[in-house]
């Protein structure tokens, strides 16, 4: 994942006082993330870009998929995900935060 050309960017981060390694890879419609807290405590996720950046930012990110486990297992699970455009790729069942919602006032 850390090789040149993969699209991944890694940085040291501190989360709740714990020093971690965080990584992201932005794709056309999704961003994939990895947070390494320890060799046996790693979270990988795929988020919907529309809910995570820009003027349409939602306070609840569009988490399409998430897995927590060992470093090896987490990377294997992330790499096993279908391409975001594939029909079997994880999708949210709720509308995006930018959908028009009418307030029912009587």
How does residue 104 score in pLDDT terms, banded at 50, 70 and 90? very low
Domain presence at residue 61? yes
Domain presence at residue 86? no
Bridge-based pairing of strands 18-26 and 63-69 is unpaired
Cβ-based neighbours of 84, under 8 Å, separated by 6 or more: 27, 28, 29, 30, 46
Query: Residue 73 above 80 pLDDT?
Result: yes
Query: Residue 96 above 70 pLDDT?
Result: no
Tally of domains in the chain: 1
User: Quick one: which of 82, 85, 75 has its CA closest to 23?
Assistant: 75
Beta partners for residue 2, in sequence order:
none
Domain presence at residue 93? no
| Structure confidence by residue, pLDDT tens digits, 20-60 | 999 999 998 899 999 999 999 999 999 988 776 655 555 55
Domain presence at residue 72? yes
Distance CA 68, CA 102 (A): 37
Could you tell me the residue range of the domain that residue 58 belongs to? 9-80
Report H helices in the chain. Answer: 49-52, 71-80
**Would you give the DSSP letter of residue 20?**
E
For position 85, what pLDDT does the model report? 87
Domain presence at residue 98? no
For position 21, what pLDDT does the model report? 96
Domain presence at residue 31? yes
């Amino acid at each position: 994942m850390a090789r040149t050309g993969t699209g991944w960017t890694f940085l040291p981060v501190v989360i709740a006082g714990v020093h971690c390694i965080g990584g992201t890879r932005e794709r056309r419609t999704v961003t994939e993330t990895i947070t390494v807290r320890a060799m046996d405590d790693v979270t990988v996720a795929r988020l919907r870009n529309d809910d995570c950046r820009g003027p349409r930012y939602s306070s609840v990110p569009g988490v399409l998929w998430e897995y927590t486990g060992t470093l090896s297992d987490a990377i294997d699970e992330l790499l096993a995900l279908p391409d975001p455009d594939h029909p079997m790729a994880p999708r949210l069942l709720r509308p995006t935060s930018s959908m028009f919602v009418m307030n029912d006032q009587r």
